[in-house]
Amino acid sequence: MPPSLSPILSPGHGTSELDGEVVATLCGVVERVNKLVYVRTLRARYKPEIGDIIVGRVIEVAPKRWRLEINFSQDAVLMLSSMNLPDGIQRRRTAVDELNMRSIFEENDVVCAEVRGFQHDGSLHLQARSQKYGKLERGQLLTVSPYLVKRRKQHFHHIEQYGIDLILGCNGFIWVGEHVEARDDMIVEDQATKSEQHDATTSMYPTSLEQEEQTYTPLETRQNICRTANAVRVLSTLGFSINVEVIMEMVNLSSSLNLDIHEMLGAEFCVLVAEGEAERRSLKKKKG
């Protein structure tokens, strides 16, 4: 900072006073709030905020709660009372619900939730009361640096063209999986009743092989999941910001070049993506 401004400003995080000037001690972006000046580091750990959409993995099933690993300095806690029950009915949790917690989530399950607040020990308190939250299946969980995922209004994306769902977690965990239709709270109870009737029927009449195959993820969908996941890996390797537009651009580019899925991780494709990004930035500077 210029010496003329130094007496006016108050040094904050990532700054220090040297010979009457405010200098940065970290590599990052200089931010200013009134008279306070600080440095926001580029490659920092995830700093949660209330309302963040996060993806985590269950590491422990404790009494009335699950503990999740969310790429943070402390584990997050999802209380049994902070999520929808499988039957979808809003009611008080009972001892039976607590005994059946493992039927909802168990160790190593991947879960999507929202940051509700902070506990006294600094850990996060999560909630998953909407039908769009919950257990994630039939897909891949990717880990990237949290600073690559910017906070946006929408973190849930349905790529209808490829039949997949993409969840960009603010904590750097990204989920790419088979598309699942969001359930309506009003019809969950009816679906639960029908599923119980179906289970009773199937126990009397075993399902055929064709019916079992219908529950499998189609080969084309699995290939689309892998191609999209590799696009995220390439962006993470290059250190580019990750959003749905850039991911789909890379997926379409690899398809137009007739590249196999594993070839997307090769050096040639990474160089091609980097050159395209450099050209895009140069054009943006000229327009600006």
Pairing of strands 124-128, 110-118: antiparallel
Query: Do residue 168 and residue 91 come from a single domain?
Result: no
Dihedral (Cα; 276, 279, 285, 288), 10-degree rounding: -70
13 near 41, Cβ under 8 Å? no
Residues in contact with 55: Cβ distance below 8 Å, sequence separation at least 6, in sequence order: 70, 110, 111, 112, 136, 141, 167, 169, 171, 173, 174, 175
The amino acid that residue 220 corresponds to is: E
Residue 3: what pLDDT? 44
Query: Do residue 78 and residue 110 come from a single domain?
Result: yes
Is the residue at 50 inside a domain?
Answer: yes
Residues in contact with 138: Cβ distance below 8 Å, sequence separation at least 6, in sequence order: 177, 178, 217
Query: Do residue 230 and residue 170 come from a single domain?
Result: yes
Residue 207: what pLDDT? 46
Is the residue at 164 inside a domain?
Answer: yes
Residue 90: what pLDDT? 67
Is the residue at 28 inside a domain?
Answer: no
Residue ending a domain, choose from 102, 136, 170: 136
| pLDDT tens per residue across span 227-239 | 999 999 999 999 8
Is the residue at 200 inside a domain?
Answer: no
Is the residue at 29 inside a domain?
Answer: no
How many Cβ atoms sit within 10 Å of the Cβ of residue 222? 17
Query: Which regions in the chain score pLDDT beneath 70?
Result: 1-7, 86-90, 182-214, 288
Dihedral (Cα; 222, 228, 234, 238), 10-degree rounding: -160
Query: Do residue 108 and residue 155 come from a single domain?
Result: no
Q: How many domains does the chain have?
A: 2
Residue 262: what pLDDT? 93
Query: Do residue 157 and residue 107 come from a single domain?
Result: no
Domain span at residue 98? 44-136
Residues in contact with 86: Cβ distance below 8 Å, sequence separation at least 6, in sequence order: 103, 104, 192
Burial of 112 (0-12, 13-18, 19+ CB in 10 A): buried
Is the residue at 168 inside a domain?
Answer: yes
Residue 222: what pLDDT? 94
DSSP classification of residue 182: P
Query: Do residue 55 and residue 122 come from a single domain?
Result: yes
Is the residue at 104 inside a domain?
Answer: yes
Residue 197: what pLDDT? 46
Query: Do residue 226 and residue 166 come from a single domain?
Result: yes
Query: Do residue 177 and residue 123 come from a single domain?
Result: no
Residue 189: what pLDDT? 42
Is the residue at 110 inside a domain?
Answer: yes
CA distance 166 to 224: 11
Residue 284: what pLDDT? 79
Query: Do residue 275 and residue 164 come from a single domain?
Result: yes
227 near 255, Cβ under 8 Å? yes
Residue 186: what pLDDT? 39
Between vectors from CA 260 to CA 254 and to CA 261, what angle results, nearest 5°?
80
Residue ending a domain, choose from 68, 103, 136: 136
CA distance 214 to 183: 20
Exposed e or buried b per residue across 41-76, where buried means at least 16 C-beta atoms within 10 angstroms of its C-beta: eeeeebebeeebbbbbbbeeeeeebbbbbbbbeeeb
Query: Do residue 124 and residue 258 come from a single domain?
Result: no
Residue ending a domain, choose from 115, 136, 157: 136
Residue 188: what pLDDT? 38
Query: Do residue 176 and residue 110 come from a single domain?
Result: no
Which helix (H) or strand (E) segment holds residue 95: the answer is: helix 95-99
Query: Do residue 55 and residue 123 come from a single domain?
Result: yes
How many Cβ atoms sit within 10 Å of the Cβ of residue 133? 20
CATH code where residue 94 lies: 2.40.50.140
